[in-house]
Amino acid sequence: MSEEIENIQFELTDELISQVERLIEARDNKALQKLLKDFHHADIAEILDELDLDEAIYIIKLLDSETTADILMELDEDNREKVLRNLSSKEIADEIGELDTDDAADIISELPEDRKREVISHIEDKEHQAEIEELLAYHEDTAGGLMAKELVKVYETWTVAGCLRRIRGQAKEVTRVHSIYVVDKKNKLVGRLSLKDLIVAKSDQKIAEISNSSVDSVNVHDDAEDVARIMQKYDLEAIPVVDDNQILLGRITIDDIVDVMKEEAEKDYQLAAGITADVEADDSIWELTKARLPWLLIGMFGGIGAASIINGFSDAMLKFPALLMFIPLIQATAGNVGVQSSAIVVQGLANDSIDGNVLSRLFKEFLLGLVNGLAIACIVLLISHFVFQTTYLESLTICVALISVIIMAALIGTFIPIFLDKRGIDAAVATGPFITTSNDVFGILMYFLIAKLILGF
Amino acid sequence: MSEEIENIQFELTDELISQVERLIEARDNKALQKLLKDFHHADIAEILDELDLDEAIYIIKLLDSETTADILMELDEDNREKVLRNLSSKEIADEIGELDTDDAADIISELPEDRKREVISHIEDKEHQAEIEELLAYHEDTAGGLMAKELVKVYETWTVAGCLRRIRGQAKEVTRVHSIYVVDKKNKLVGRLSLKDLIVAKSDQKIAEISNSSVDSVNVHDDAEDVARIMQKYDLEAIPVVDDNQILLGRITIDDIVDVMKEEAEKDYQLAAGITADVEADDSIWELTKARLPWLLIGMFGGIGAASIINGFSDAMLKFPALLMFIPLIQATAGNVGVQSSAIVVQGLANDSIDGNVLSRLFKEFLLGLVNGLAIACIVLLISHFVFQTTYLESLTICVALISVIIMAALIGTFIPIFLDKRGIDAAVATGPFITTSNDVFGILMYFLIAKLILGF
């Protein structure tokens, strides 16, 4: 027995993929089944993601639907879409019959409208079908969109022994029993039990006696990100979902929340990098362009704005050419400071760790900008004077401009995300190129205005 | 009973905080205990994070150590450190006695060296003490640093009935029973059971008959981020940790992994924004400066580099002043493209979704850069010609430079993270200011070289 135990160490090698490809080409179904039998469905999905569509579909059709349903769930979304397009509605319905209601609803919701109805009509288990239809009615970004109907439910009037007997039936359909939910006769959620409580209790005790009545729940219309935050904060592994009348509708488990968290983190990261849609390195050039070009255009208009400002000061430029050299420095510094400030605020907002007072936060950023600005200005002063031999007034201009621009960038980078958040807009959009572009333009304008003041052109 | 059920809706209001402060000032312990009794420890921690240190310590000393131990775990790291500094070693040891071994070890490892030994020596439960000391020996970024010693373990030779009887004892000490681990007489991990399996089984069956021998495990020295990736990929809620001889040492649960994932995402986000240390909006100006100044200095040297380049072309500048206007545009575009490209690669590397071939990836980025570059160059061509009235050759220079710079930035943004990753360096450091700065300098150099070629100065 102990030989079968091993640390997880699946590695997707080129040899493995070509072995699978050779077996598919040779139509050697027996060898294929034998090879894939020992792999976890998540690993098989990784293999399929590397194969051609025809080959992937060949394997999906070869393996039994219990395995392939799980594989489908783990495939790249793009690949899953392609595979599903090549399966009949009946075949998809068979796969879906093997999945929990939440996964089943996720897959169906990815299908085109007309196929949705067809696939649903082919689901054989009528109860499963009705539950999936119920879930499809909720928005995907709500608790209802995340929850599964599979749960273990007992009535408060049952005894421990009767309860153990009856949940043996329910539990077989539930992959993981996190909690047993206690309901009254109207299906209102009134408490919670763990399997452990049940095992530790005496068999003639009533459920109402041993259940924990302070059970946390979320409303079916609550925002998915809020549910994620709650489960994380309170270290919950599952949470029941109720309607406005506290009727138990379903439960959300931590693995779904892990996915929500990951998507959220990736989205914020991409927004900060100026990528608007959810893209991956392997997407097509067209998809990548659609996601990337919008921010590049905004950056471009910023650049044109900066060009207009420089153009407006063209006489001064020719009188003080040294000033021009430092435009890139001013611009880069303004951009970097703005991104730093906004990232800290955006993260603080996401963690709810930023408390109300905007003015004190702006004052802190002002001080921070002053400290950083003084440090950088000192170094630039020395370099500009000794290396570029700027005049006394030119050096002064550059240093005053640097400090001012750093403070301005820190204030803008702090203020805009807080402002957006108060207006109910996701502050994450205000990072990256957005902050950089506005700071570029304001920074250069400020630079020339300070130069005008000091050098008097 | 049903009145006690409510959706989670704790809100940290100013009124609540001042109410707590008033009660502390009045030394009204009864009212304080009554008020806080109904709050979850994570909520009390949020309240404490808002109070002055004296007030927070007052509450910690007031409440019983079962609650305060959990509160301590949820406090902001900085605040926890301050609170612990104001508790005696004996008091800390009492708190730690209430915590699971993994949390206990985390808290002790935050203490200064001399206090560590003192606190450990005060832990009353000698077994708990020994287990915590064992955990302290592992590096915090490894499976050993994440695992807890609390788990439910049964021998393969036991019967289901005997097993149920015996695990009643073990399970009381384990907050959540995810899996029951089956070991042989040498404590080697040989299988896994769920409580559900046990309840569903017949009472005279042997454990070896019903246990699942294909149990996943990780080695105690495995990297924490790898463990997170594995648990997420295979949707595991707990994983056993073994040593090199497959001896069962502990288990890691999904809530610890959620924390690892969150920290990792925040770190990557901050790196992309040019913040080097793990800071929060509420940290001191000195800490924030330490985290932010390094990248600003790198950006500054980039700006100085750009200044040298412009200085080197100063004659050309005076002959073609129109060129100067577009320096900010070239620089901003190079920066934005570089950040976009690197973010996609870094995310792909983190998800293991980027496969080997560097050349084909670079070729794709080349095409992508060409498409984006042509789109932007067309618009700039029109604007520069009609708005800024640049000459034919100047317009050509600007457009050719824009396209070239975009392609170059895309290639650099793609190549550097892949290169670092192959060298075993975390690719996330190569985003944000690093890419922006190098693209600034190379972009401006390329601009002038192309201008020289086309305009022939």
The number of domains in chain A is: 3
Chain segment B362-408, per-residue pLDDT in tens: 888 899 999 999 999 999 999 988 888 888 898 999 999 999 999 99
Q: Is residue B413 part of a domain?
A: yes
Please give the average per-residue pLDDT across A204-219, as a whole number.
88
A265 domain-assigned: no
Question: Cβ separation of A440 and B328 shorter than 8 Å?
Answer: yes
Q: Which two tokens stand for residue A62?
A: 């070869």
Name which of B152, B375, B435 is nearest A336 in CA terms.
B435
Q: What pLDDT shows up at residue A456?
A: 82
Please check whether residues A321 and A386 belong to one and the same domain. yes
Residue B68 forms beta bridges with which residues?
Answer: none
* A450 has pLDDT over 90: yes
Identify the pLDDT of residue A4.
41
Assigned domain for B278 exists: no
User: What pLDDT was estimated at residue B203?
Assistant: 83
Do B294 and B437 share a domain, yes or no? yes
Where residue A209 sits, what CATH number does that domain have? 3.10.580.10
Based on the fold, state whether residues A174 and A33 are members of the same structural domain.
no
- Closest to A72 in 3D by CA, of B210, B448, A64, B5: A64
pLDDT bracket for residue A412 (50, 70, 90): very high
Spatial separation of the C-alpha atoms in residues A423 and A426, rounded to whole Å = 9
Buried b (16+ CB within 10 A) or exposed e, A152-189: bbbbbebbbebbbeebeeebeebebbbbbbbbbeebbb
Q: Are strands B152-155 and A238-242 parallel, antiparallel or unpaired?
A: unpaired
Report the distance separating Cα B218 and Cα A286, nearest Å. 41
Chain B residue numbers touching A302 (CB-CB < 8 A): 328, 332
Nearest residue to B437 via CA among B414, B411, B413, B419 = B413
Alpha-carbon distances, residue A122 vs A85, A115, A310, A328, B193 (angstroms)? 16, 11, 67, 63, 35
Task: Give the pairing type, strands B248-253 and B238-242.
Answer: antiparallel
Give the whole-angstrom CA distance, residue B79 versus residue B86: 11
| Residue B42 token pair | 């994570």
A259 falls in which pLDDT band (50, 70, 90)?
confident
Q: Please give the pLDDT value at position A38.
A: 82
C-alpha span between A43 and A49 (Å, rounded)? 10
End-to-end CA distance of chain A: 87
Domain final position from A124, A142, A160? A142
Q: Do A252 and A229 meet the contact criterion of CB atoms below 8 Å apart?
A: no
Are the C-beta atoms of residues B35 and B20 closer than 8 Å to each other?
yes
Q: Please give the helix or strand (H or E) that residue B129 lies within, else none.
A: helix B126-136
B418 and B391 share a domain? yes
Check B292 against A372: CB less than 8 A apart.
Answer: yes
Quote the CA–CA distance of B270 and B294 in Å, as a whole number.
13
Average pLDDT of the segment spanning A407-416:
92
The overall average pLDDT reported for chain A is: 87
Smallest Cβ distance to A292: which of B156, B214, B372?
A: B372
CB contact under 8 A, B306 and A328: yes
User: Is A367 inside a domain boundary?
Assistant: yes
Torsion sign (Cα): B370, B371, B376, B377: positive
Residue to mutate among A329, A402, A437, with most B CBs inside 10 A, is: A329
Q: Which of A258, A273, A279 sits opposite B272 (nearest CB)?
A: A273
Ranges A66-70, B8-12, B75-79, B295-299: which has the least confidence = B8-12
Are residues B235 and B291 located together in one domain of the fold?
no
Q: Are the beta carbons of A335 and B335 separated by less than 8 Å?
A: yes
* Same domain, yes or no: A138 and A118: yes
Confidence of residue A5 (pLDDT cuts 50, 70, 90): very low
Cβ atoms of residues B17 and B47 within 8 Å:
yes
**pLDDT above 50 for A243:** yes
CB atoms within 10 A of CB A33: 15
Average pLDDT (A309-322) is: 84
In eight-state DSSP terms, residue A75 is S
Which of A292, A414, A434 best tests the B interface by mutation, with the highest count of B CBs <10 A? A292
As a whole number of angstroms, the distance between CA B240 and CA A164 comes to 27
In this structure, the answer to whether residues B239 and B316 fall within a common structural domain is: no
Q: Are A346 and A415 in contact (CB under 8 A)?
A: no
- For residue A1, being part of any structural domain is answered with no
Residue A183 DSSP symbol: E
**SS3 assignment, position A247:** strand
User: Does residue A374 lie in a domain region?
Assistant: yes
Residue B159 dihedral angles phi and psi, to the nearest 5°: -95, 165
Cβ A320 vs Cβ A394: under 8 Å: yes
Q: How far apart are CA B454 and CA B457, in angstroms?
A: 9
pLDDT, tens digit, for every residue of A84-130?
999 999 999 999 988 999 999 999 999 998 899 999 999 999 999 99
For A360-379, the pLDDT digits (tens) are: 888 888 999 999 999 999 99
Residues in B touching A285 (Cβ below 8 Å) = 364, 367-368, 371
C-alpha separations of A353 from A350, B50, B283 in Å: 8, 10, 11
In the block, tokens 């000391």 appear at B133
- Report the percent of chain A where pLDDT is more than 70: 95
Identify whether residues A18 and A134 lie together within a single domain: yes
Give B371 or A429, the one with higher predicted confidence: B371
What was the pLDDT predicted at B2? 36
Q: How many CB pairs under 8 A join A and B?
A: 405
Which stretch of DSSP H or E encloses residue A241? Answer: strand A238-242
Nearest to B280 among A331, A336, A348 (CB): A348
Cβ distance A435 to A386 under 8 Å?
Answer: no
Q: Which of B230, B253, B276 is the last residue of a domain?
A: B253
Match 């958040």 to its residue by tokens.
Answer: A421
Q: What is the CATH number of the domain that holds A44?
A: 1.25.60.10
pLDDT at A104: 94
Write out chain A residues lying below 8 Å of B242, CB-based. 7
Query: Which of A216, A261, A339 has its CB closest to that of B261?
Result: A261
- Residue to substitute from B174, B185, B249, B336, interface A, most A β-carbons within 10 A: B336
Task: State chain B's mean pLDDT as an integer.
Answer: 87
Query: Does residue B5 surpass a pLDDT of 60?
Result: no
- How far is B393 from B5, CA to CA, in rounded Å? 75
CA distance A337 to A412: 10
What would the mean pLDDT of A128-142 be, rounded to a whole number? 93
- Scanning the structure block, which residue is given the tokens 């052109």? A457
Sort A429 into a burial class: Cβ within 10 Å, 0-12 / 13-18 / 19+.
middle
Residue in this structure with the two tokens 């990815």, named with its chain if needed:
A110
Per-residue pLDDT of B38-78, as tens digits, reads 888 899 998 998 899 999 999 999 998 888 999 999 898 88
Do B424 and B376 fall within a single domain?
A: yes
Q: In this predicted model, what pLDDT tens digit does every residue of A281-303 receive, in sequence order?
A: 778 888 888 888 888 898 899 99
d(CA B201, CA B157): 15
Supply angle C-alpha B234, B238, B243, rounded to 5.
100
Say which CATH number the domain at A394 has: 1.10.357.20
If pLDDT is split at 50, 70 and 90, which confidence band does B11 have?
Answer: confident
What's residue B4's pLDDT? 41
Q: How far is CA B212 from the centre of its chain?
A: 33
Q: How large is the C-alpha radius of gyration of chain B?
A: 30
Residue B132 maps to a domain? yes
In a domain, B84, yes or no: yes
Residue A361 has a pLDDT of 84
Same-domain pairing of A200 and A293: no
Q: Say whether both B343 and B245 belong to one domain.
A: no
Q: Which residues of B48-66 are buried (b: 16+ CB within 10 A; e: fewer)?
A: bbbbeeebbbbbbeebebe
User: Residue A143 has which token pair?
Assistant: 């608790």
Range of the domain at B316: 285-455
Gap between the Cα atoms of A163 and A172, Å rounded = 14
End-to-end Cα distance, chain B: 87
Contact residues, chain B, for A237 at CB < 8 Å:
176, 237, 254-255
Beta carbons of B361 and A200 less than 8 Å apart: no
Report helix, strand or coil for A96: helix
Residue B248, strand partner residues: B242
Last residue of a domain, one of A255, A277, A309: A255
C-alpha to C-alpha distance for A448 and A398, rounded to whole angstroms: 10
**Are residues A347 and A372 located together in one domain of the fold?**
yes
Question: In chain B, what residues touch A263 (CB-CB under 8 Å)?
Answer: none
Burial of residue B223, with CB atoms counted within 10 A of its CB: 0-12 exposed, 13-18 middle, 19 or more buried: middle
Range A294-306 burial, b when 16+ CB lie within 10 A, else e: ebbbbbbebbbbb
pLDDT for A413 beyond 70:
yes
C-alpha torsion A446→A447→A448→A452, nearest 10: 100
CA distance B38 to A46: 47
Q: Which CA distances in Å does A373 have to A339, A368, A451?
A: 15, 8, 17
Structure tokens at B17: 């905080």
Residues 6+ apart with CB under 8 A from A126: none
Most confident of A9-13, A53-57, A274-278, A355-359: A53-57
Structure token pair of residue B106 = 């985390």
